[in-house]
Amino acid sequence: MNIKNGFFSLFYLLIILVFLSMTANATTEEQRIIQTYGEAEITAQPDLAKISLSIETLSQSAKEAVEENAKLANTVLKALIDFGLSEEEITTSSYRLNSYREWGKVGSQNEPEKIYYQATNEILVLTNQLDTVGQIIDLAVEAGINNIQYINFEIRDPQQLMLQALTMATEQAQHKAEAIAKGAGVIIKQLYNIKEERTFYAPFRLQDTMLQTEIAKSDAPTPIAPDSVIIKATVIAEFSF
């Protein structure tokens, strides 16, 4: 190897060493991170009620099960519209026709196999008049509803509250990082990384069992009192120092 080639080899080697040193320093710098977890919870009063009702009819004839169900459904729909609900506030969410086999008792020759047909018509009622929910329930049951799936109390447009919760969660993450840095005797340079972990909106749901408890309390109109809905947000933030 001549002197010229040796010089260039040494030069390239120095460049590589400098590059590796810078990379190591950058890696060390990146590892100087404070990671925090920010969370926020907001409660708000609902402005929309979703009432899921169903009509179930059972017969050994599929035709009879369907016809009886349709008759009751028309009676229920008329009662709800007469109450003051619009057709846009009442929708059929699903309709099913299932068959069931019932076998005779073991050892019995007098009980042959029977086939039953069950028609189920689920009706969804939407209303912003929350103080009328109890009346709607009583009216629907009287007209022919025999199953209450659930009652949801919701916020019609929760987006602004979800964004507010995210802002609060981010601010909390930053405050935590500042407190950690102060305790450690270091200074935060900048926000290194942040991500939304979860934003959660939970309507208040009154289950059928809860509703039956309310109905059993009194012979008066069913009392339905909505609780607050909950909006939660969580973020994970990293700050360099």
- Those residues whose C-beta lies under 8 Å from the C-beta of residue 56, and which sit 6 or more positions away, are 69, 118, 119, 120, 146, 147
Helix (H) or strand (E) holding 214: helix 208-217
Report percent pLDDT > 70 for the chain.
77
Position 14 scores a pLDDT of 60
Between 46-50, 76-80, 170-174, 218-222, the lowest mean confidence (pLDDT) is in: 218-222
For 38-77, the DSSP string reads EEEEEEE---EEEEEEEEEEEESSHHHHHHHHHHHHHHHH
Cα separation, 134 vs 148, in Å, equals 12
CA angle, corner 105, sides to 102 and 107, nearest 5? 140
Q: Domains in the chain, start-ordered, CATH in brackets?
A: 30-46+156-241 (3.30.110.170), 48-154 (3.30.70.2970)
Burial class (CB in 10 A: 0-12, 13-18, 19+), 218: exposed
Cα separation, 234 vs 40, in Å, equals 7
Position 214 scores a pLDDT of 47
Position 31 scores a pLDDT of 73
The 10s digit of each residue's pLDDT in 6-54 is: 555 555 556 666 556 665 555 444 578 999 999 999 999 999 999 999 9
Contact 46, 154 (CB under 8 A): yes
Shortest CA distance to 196 belongs to which of 230, 233, 162? 233
Position 225 scores a pLDDT of 75
Work out the end-to-end distance of the chain between its first and last CA atoms, rounded to an integer number of angstroms: 48
pTM of the model: 0.69
Which residue has better confidence, 108 or 152? 152
Which residue has better confidence, 158 or 220? 158
**Average pLDDT along the chain:** 84
Q: How many CA atoms lie within 13 A of 131 on its CB side?
A: 0
The 10s digit of each residue's pLDDT in 83-122 is: 999 999 999 889 999 998 877 665 556 666 789 999 999 9
CB atoms within 10 A of CB 29: 12
Position 212 scores a pLDDT of 53
Helices (H), 102-193: 133-143, 159-184
